[in-house]
Amino acid sequence: MAWKIIATLLPLIFGRLCAQTLSDKELERVRWHYSIEDGFENPDAVYKLDLSNKKLSKFPTEVFLFRNLHVLILANNKIDSIPVDIDRLQALVSLNLMGNKINKIPDNLGNIRSLKYLYLSRNQLHRFPLGMHGLKNLKYLDVSYNYITTYELDWIAKTLPQCSIKF
């Protein structure tokens, strides 16, 4: 009897915990959200969120409520750090943090295995964390207009040979 209850409840529980992955074509068709509040109406329907040019000084941790978030744009704000638990965004495919004041990337970013596109240009970065080696699906990395040394660029190029790097 108990195993029947577990068998019935497991898909319900598991379905709520796991993010839904969309193909590139499916992702093109879903609507953009332009505010956190807009996303609160139906958090599971937030796949693309654009909070660029909002004068944000902190990374909005409310985005962690959007478990299906695939594309997050926080470009041209005043954000100075990325939260250590950034890896809670396990469905993330594209992260755009261009034009902020970020000087450090947390190691946990490398735990987002789904990440394909990472835009970090025009920040204050000096180095890459060792955890970047986990980004095996990363196709494109933009770190132009930072303070990255040639040594760091060589290291990231060797660590992520599948990735096209703009510097």
**pLDDT for the residue 28:** 84
Q: Is residue 90 part of a domain?
A: yes
The residue among 113, 145, 147 whose CA lies nearest residue 132 is 113
- The ranges of the chain with pLDDT < 50 are 1-16
Q: Is residue 65 part of a domain?
A: yes
Q: Is residue 98 part of a domain?
A: yes
Domain count for the chain: 1
| The two three-digit tokens of residue 119, written as one number | 């835009």
Cut 0.75: pTM above it: yes
Q: Is residue 3 part of a domain?
A: no
- Is there a contact between 79 and 101 (Cβ–Cβ < 8 Å)? yes
CA distance 152 to 122: 17
Number of helices (H), then strands (E), in the chain: 4, 7
Domain CATH for 123: 3.80.10.10
Q: Is residue 84 part of a domain?
A: yes
Strands 48-50 and 117-119: unpaired
Tens-place pLDDT, residues 84-115: 999 999 999 999 999 999 999 999 999 999 99
137: containing domain: 22-166
Tens-place pLDDT, residues 19-29: 788 877 888 89
Q: Is residue 15 part of a domain?
A: no
Q: Is residue 159 part of a domain?
A: yes
Specify the amino acid at residue 3.
W
Q: Is residue 130 part of a domain?
A: yes
